[in-house]
Amino acid sequence: MANTILVGAQWGDEGKGKIIDVLTEEADVVVRTQGGNNAGHTVFVKKQKYVLHLIPSGILRRNKRCVIGNGVVIDPISLVEEIEGLRKLGVKVDGNLFVSETAHVVLPYHRELDAQREVLKGKDRIGTTKRGIGPAYGDKAARVGLRMIDLIQPERFSAQLRTRIRENNEVLKAFGARPLSFEKVNRAYLEAGRYLKRFVTNTVVLLHEALLRGEDILFEGAQGTFLDIDHGTYPFVTSSNTTAGGACTGSGVPPHRMDRVVGVMKAYTTRVGEGPLPTEDAEIGDMLHAMGREFGATTGRPRRCGWFDSVATRHAAMVNGIDEIAVTNIDGLDALETIKVCVAYRDGRKQYDYMPNDIELLSRCRPVYAEFPGWKTPTHKAKRWKDLPPKCRAYLKAIAELSCARLFIASVGPGREQTIFV
Ligand code: IMP
């Protein structure tokens, strides 16, 4: 399979979990390289639903090594719960999961600050998942974060935590929030540290040993291109690099060892949280919600929905170096008479065929649409490319061409068997 980076080419929730699961079949190692438990990857195996937040979905296949890399921020309590949840469903975790000792730890004051800052922002809020992701990455950049290597050494951890809680309690008090009890947090985190110790290791060395053996590595992205801290619709973004470069910094595997980049995109567009979504449209949103689709895997929030935005996906292809695309949720469009695709943006008389960086300008932009005839036929049972209705194939070819990438996978449902290699 070669070393493959998989990224979301839109605003997250592109259906990456399923594509990762499919590609994992040929990988030896699967690595998560950024984000935290703000992500929710849903995978169905034989009708059993699994929702993964921190652990790579490779864990659902036997004998795949799964790595949580140095670029991830880990809420240890939530990771323990995730491991226990998988065990109960009969998934083997021990011996297959490796957690970077330099990944940063998400602490209760991160979550509390995340929530308080959102309240303070009022109508300008980001709409975060309230998992403490922004403050945890903030501490990492400010060099006051605690890492997994600290968590598994009780004395060191407790000493650092005491200082951090003292400082953060002052901030929480200023917000009018309740201060945290050092003893309570310390106890819960040390317990999680004891549980997780056996998984914590030097994952950079582990990955380079795998490379030396010629093994294939899949780098699974979380969130999407337009939630990237550098390339997304700032400030309505997450706090990590969700684009392809993040796979290198978040794992310690250098760029020249990467062989290809696969971009995952829905056949339409969705977003959770605030911020511009140029093709947002009630017609498609109401239809998808009425079908029971497009509710967030992590927060259960209804996702905002819109037509396929090729200005965005072209930009994603550019910043990620996407070679191939996987288009998901095609069956969500089965009932439509006409399908719109955004081919440019317009603000007054000015037209843009790229994504403007100015967030106010982007918010003003209106989509310029091309229209495609709907196929009005169920596609969820299609197994091969030629099983898809000709109008559906034409639509998929068109969005791939507009996105400047080669169509690689067409996905017509959540199951592994609903995957068409083009
Ligand atoms: P945070 O990552 O919780 O700080 O949230 C920042 C923004 O990213 C918010 O708009 C979230 O809704 C969005 N976000 C974070 N994680 C995901 C995800 O996994 N899928 C989709 N949106 C996400």
- 113 touches ligand 1 (CB under 6 Å): no
Same fold, 4-94+203-421 and 104-199: no
Atom in ligand 1 nearest the alpha carbon of residue 274:
10
Q: Which residues are catalytic?
A: 13, 41
Q: Which residue has the tokens 């932009």?
A: 365
CA of 127 to the centre of ligand 1 (A): 8
First to last CA, the chain: 16
- The CATH classification of domain 4-94+203-421, taken from the options 3.40.440.10, 3.40.50.620, 3.30.465.10, 3.40.462.20: 3.40.440.10
Which of 130, 229, 272 best tests ligand 1's pocket when mutated (most atoms within 8 Å of CB)? 272
CA of 53 to the centre of ligand 1 (A): 12
Report the amino acid identity of residue 227. L
User: Comparing C-alpha atoms, which of 266, 268, 291 is closest to residue 340?
Assistant: 268
SS3 for the chain is CCCEEEEECCCCCCCHHHHHHHHHCCCCEEEECCECCCCCEEEEECCEEEEECCCCHHHHCCCCEEEECCCEEECHHHHHHHHHHHHHCCCCCCCCEEEECCCEECCHHHHHHHHHHHHHHHHHCCCCCCCCHHHHHHHHHHCCCCEHHHHCCHHHHHHHHHHHHHHHHHHHHHCCCCCCCHHHHHHHHHHHHHHHHHHEECHHHHHHHHHHCCCCEEEECCCCHHHCCCCCCCCCCCCCCCCCHHHHHCCCCCHHHCCEEEEEEECCEEECCCCCCCCECHHHHHHHHHCCCCECCCCCCECEEECEEHHHHHHHHHHHCCCEEEEECHHHHCCCCEEEEEEEEEECCEEECCCCCCHHHHHHCEEEEEEEECCCCCCCCCCCHHHCCHHHHHHHHHHHHHCCCEEEEEECCCECCCEEEC
Domain coordinates in residue numbering, the chain:
4-94+203-421, 104-199
CA of 391 to the centre of ligand 1 (A): 34
User: Which segments in the chain show pLDDT lower than 70?
Assistant: none
- 133 touches ligand 1 (CB under 6 Å): yes
CA of 61 to the centre of ligand 1 (A): 27
Q: How far apart are CA 376 and CA 335, in angstroms?
A: 5
Q: How far apart are CA 166 and CA 371, in angstroms?
A: 58
Q: Which residue has the CA at smallest separation from atom 9 of ligand 1?
A: 128
pLDDT at 49: 87
To the question of domain 104-199 being in CATH 3.30.360.10, the answer is no
pLDDT digits (tens, 9 = 90+) for 352-392: 999 999 999 999 999 999 999 999 999 999 999 999 999 99
